[in-house]
Amino acid sequence: MLRKGFPLMTQPPNAPPSANQNRQLQIELPANLTATYANVVIVSHTNSEVILDFTQVMPNDPRARVQSRIVMTPQNAKLFLRALQTNLEMFEKKNGEIILPPQPVTLAEQLFHGARPTDPPSTPPSE
């Protein structure tokens, strides 16, 4: 399967104009390519790379299985982030806002939720 018309996103927006910026890529999807489901992404980085581990976590299974690892430069990771943001905005315009579940409670919040510092005892003004 051949998909046409994908612009290249290898140059930052402030890069000087070049012939490569307007080049179109033909994306070839191999016939035996399989889609991989991931419900967790673990993001890590080094000085020169951003690593995305696409992971599958299943109910009643304590293991998290990495299904695919993608390694890219920080610049390409930022371009990927921008492309993902643009596509999510288009998705939400068409399908409505994506509602995220509340963030999990941290251990500190679990232990100290509602705990407030006590006011220091007031001292009478000295004369």
Residue 60 CA, chain-centre distance (Å), reads 25
- Domain range for 17 is 2-94
- Is 120 among the domain residues? no
pLDDT over 90, % of the chain? 51
Count how many domains the chain has.
1
User: Quick one: pLDDT at residue 106?
Assistant: 77
pTM over the 0.85 mark: no
pLDDT > 80? residue 48: yes
- Is 39 among the domain residues? yes
- Is 104 among the domain residues? no
- Neighbour tally for 50: CB within 10 Å: 19
- Mind listing the pLDDT tens digit for each residue in 59-84? 998 888 999 999 999 999 999 999 99
- Neighbour tally for 67: CB within 10 Å: 14
- Mind listing the pLDDT tens digit for each residue in 117-127? 666 666 666 66
- Is 114 among the domain residues? no
- Is 110 among the domain residues? no
Residue 22 to residue 13: CA distance in whole angstroms: 12
